[in-house]
A and B are shown apart, each in its own frame.
Chain A
Amino acid sequence: MKKDRDYSDIPGTYVFDPEHSRQGYHLNMFCMSLNKEANREQFKQGEADYVDKFPMTEAQKNAVLNRDWIGMLRLGGNIYYTFKLAIFDGINMQEIGARMEGVPDDQFKEMMIRGGRPIHGNRYQKEWTRRG
């Protein structure tokens, strides 16, 4: 599989490419299962038992159980799938955004109201490295 892609230098971005998709298949399909009311009910009754039905890695299962949103992405999760879990928890996309960045929810919401995260300084990894 390709390692260095033309988008690899975009900071804070997990492009759902073939490598990512292979890694995250079972994690994402677990998330997908929450589209069904009956499955949501089962998950509610015992999260650990429910995730054991899916052939995920232990790291993926722990990321799900601990609601490690950025960890799920790093382990192959796709945001539209992991968002199913957020819907289950009753939290919205801005709250997920805050948790992925590691800032308070209000701070993220405020950033959006001010026009969002600016493109300036956020195009290349090296801009983030310099910033430290």
Chain B
Amino acid sequence: MARLFGGIGTSHVPGIGAAVDNEKTQTDYWKPLFDGYEPVREWMRKEAPDVAIIVYNDHASAFSLELIPTFAIGVADAFQPADEGYGPRKVPVVEGHPELAWHLAESLILDEFDMTIANEMPVDHGLTVPLSITCGAPSAWPCKVIPLCVNVIQYPSPTGNRCYQLGKAIRSAVEAFPDDMKVAIFGTGGMSHQLQGERAGLVNADFDIAFLDDLTQNVDRLVDIPHVEYLREAGSEGAELVMWMIMRGALDADAREIYRHYHVPASNTAAGLIILENP
């Protein structure tokens, strides 16, 4: 039986990917951030998940305003790095796990989560930067990936509670999959940041630290954070943190914190990372 054993919450700032791609991770600006990523890379090597379900958002790459799925799951054999305007990132093609992905799609829809199913979905920095953070720059990614794309650009995004409940449904679905394999789940985006408007550059470290704390100490509080609170306290793009709630929902109520790292700034963003494991 498949086993969902742990999760990672991480920011997915494009500048972090660019620092890896351009070999700038040891500069004065980036070194403190990347030093804090060593333990998660070690964790990935040690735990060696067969599949990572990566919850992320597309940034006008695979989807545009033409079509705005709230939740889309990628069921393809492979997902190409998207051209976001610079040419595609020179990172390995992301290999999917169609059997598990289709199983998840079927199970989630019958569980009343109305997923959009994507056979073609180029993946942008939202998905590839978390892989760079957790795996470095290998010639091939060490695990299969199921992309789960969430709309957080067009207001309203799904609520924290809906995301959390989806996480629970993912957990049940994974554990009903007959093959013996280890599955990890990543919730990405955040932490506090605002890219737009005259308030651009907003960072709220108190909000972020309390969010990291309550992933293990008071999940109920996080589940109930309304959009307006994310927008006001964590910035218009900090509202991406609802995606971490999908990861959290997929783990045990008493999941343990294994590691965290928090650093300001990564470009215009407060970069956070946490590893959680089921007991």
Chain A contacts to B: CB under 8 angstroms: 6-7, 10-18, 20-21, 25, 28-29, 31-32, 34-37, 40, 70, 73, 78-81, 83-84, 87-88, 92-94, 96-97, 100-102, 108, 111-113, 115-119, 122-123
- Residue B199 at the chain A interface, CB threshold 8 Å: yes
- B65-85 near A? 1/0 per residue, CB < 8 Å: 110000000000000001111
* Residues in B whose Cβ lies below 8 Å from that of A117: 194, 199-203
Chain B, Cβ-Cβ closest to A100: B200
Given contacts A34-B85, A37-B83, A87-B86, contact A7 B232 (CB under 8 A): yes
Chain A, Cβ-Cβ closest to B61: A35
Alpha-carbon separation in the docked complex, A40 to B86 (Å):
10
7 A-B contacts, Cβ less than 8 Å apart? A13-B197, A16-B155, A97-B201, A100-B200, A113-B265, A118-B203, A123-B232
User: Is B199's CB under 8 angstroms from A29's CB?
Assistant: no
Query: Chain B: how many interface residues by the 8 Å CB criterion?
Result: 46
User: Is A12's CB under 8 angstroms from B83's CB?
Assistant: no
Given contacts A101-B200, A117-B203, contact A29 B65 (CB under 8 A): yes
Contact of A84 among B85, B155, B202, B270 (CB under 8 A): B85
Alpha-carbon separation in the docked complex, A122 to B156 (Å):
22
Most buried by B among A34, A113, A122: A122
User: Is B64's CB under 8 angstroms from A29's CB?
Assistant: yes
Given contacts A15-B231, A119-B233, contact A87 B155 (CB under 8 A): no
Min CB–CB distance B214 → chain A (angstroms): 18
- Residue B268 at the chain A interface, CB threshold 8 Å: yes
Contact of B153 among A13, A16, A100 (CB under 8 A): A16
* Residues in A whose Cβ lies below 8 Å from that of B200: 12, 96-97, 100-101, 108, 117
Chain B, Cβ-Cβ closest to A15: B155
Contact of B155 among A10, A17, A88, A122 (CB under 8 A): A17
Looking at chain A's contact residues, is the secondary structure mostly helix, strand, loop, or mixed? Answer: helix
- Residue B23 at the chain A interface, CB threshold 8 Å: no
Contact of B199 among A28, A83, A122 (CB under 8 A): A122
Min CB–CB distance B105 → chain A (angstroms): 26
Min CB–CB distance B101 → chain A (angstroms): 25
Chain A, Cβ-Cβ closest to B196: A79
User: Is A119's CB under 8 angstroms from B206's CB?
Assistant: yes
Alpha-carbon separation in the docked complex, A111 to B267 (Å):
11
* Residues in B whose Cβ lies below 8 Å from that of A96: 195, 200
Chain A, Cβ-Cβ closest to B122: A35
Alpha-carbon separation in the docked complex, A74 to B193 (Å):
20
- Residue B134 at the chain A interface, CB threshold 8 Å: no
User: Is B268's CB under 8 angstroms from A94's CB?
Assistant: yes
Contact of A11 among B156, B195, B199, B204 (CB under 8 A): B199
User: Is A10's CB under 8 angstroms from B232's CB?
Assistant: yes
* Residues in A whose Cβ lies below 8 Å from that of B232: 7, 10, 123
Alpha-carbon separation in the docked complex, A93 to B86 (Å):
14
Alpha-carbon separation in the docked complex, A108 to B268 (Å):
9
* Residues in A whose Cβ lies below 8 Å from that of B202: 116-117, 119, 122
User: Is B228's CB under 8 angstroms from A6's CB?
Assistant: yes
Alpha-carbon separation in the docked complex, A13 to B252 (Å):
36
